[in-house]
Chain A
Amino acid sequence: LAKTTQPISMDSYEGQEVNITCSHNNIATNDYITWYQQFPSQGPRFIIQGYKTKVTNEVASLFIPADRKSSTLSLPRVSLSDTAVYYCLVGGPNSGNTGKLIFGQGTTLQVKP
């Protein structure tokens, strides 16, 4: 399973765009990249998933370069409520259904007023 590396923590201010980069140098050909968000005292919540190029939904964008060895989660105009831990996960199709997801330590994002 591909190992991921992401910053332990990041600070930002309300209204700014936040980019969190995750490295996954040994990603396999059929691996997907998935990001989860976890608020204090809650379980993680799926944000976005992608395989290559760019994916966008109502919450975030995910940028994946051609070599797929890294990915960047982009949160537009963050607010205080975006303060959370963000996890980058890499796994093959159906990893979520087969217990193969690996949650690392994640990136703790602190949004300040």
Chain B
Amino acid sequence: DVKVTQSSRYLVKRTGEKVFLECVQDMDHENMFWYRQDPGLGLRLIYFSYDVKMKEKGDIPEGYSVSREKKERFSLILESASTNQTSMYLCASSGLAESTDTQYFGPGTRLTVL
């Protein structure tokens, strides 16, 4: 059973702080994704990575960066948190060996920026 874990379920930070959100998957998946989810806007893709040290911008990358130093770990970085980055952040992974291109999601991190 695929497991995607995220470092925190809830996080409260102050404006201007640097924030790290960590995601780990245990299925040796090549692809990993970061989304944010806001009421009325659905899920929006921030960044994704298809290999170690590789990254691609999603639909809303501004204000975010990512790091993938190991295959199982994908980090989302808010360089200087702002109140409009208050949101639910979801990490997902998918593998080329799967029979479908299913994305497996973690439980999410609810980030509040004060």
The answer to whether A and B interact is yes
> Which positions in A face B, CB cutoff 8 Å?
34, 41-46, 49, 87, 93-99, 101-106
B19 within 8 A of A: no
Chain A residues with Cβ under 8 A from B41's Cβ? Answer: 105
Q: How many residues of B contact A (CB 8 A)?
A: 30
Total A-B residue pairs with C-beta atoms closer than 8 Å? 62
Given pairs A96-B102, A99-B33, 12 additional interface contacts (CB within 8 A): A41-B108, A41-B110, A43-B90, A44-B43, A46-B102, A49-B102, A95-B101, A96-B103, A97-B96, A99-B31, A101-B103, A102-B42
> Which positions in B face A, CB cutoff 8 Å?
4, 30-31, 33, 35, 40-43, 45, 48, 50, 56, 58, 90-92, 94-96, 100-108, 110
Residue of chain A at shortest CB distance from B31? A97
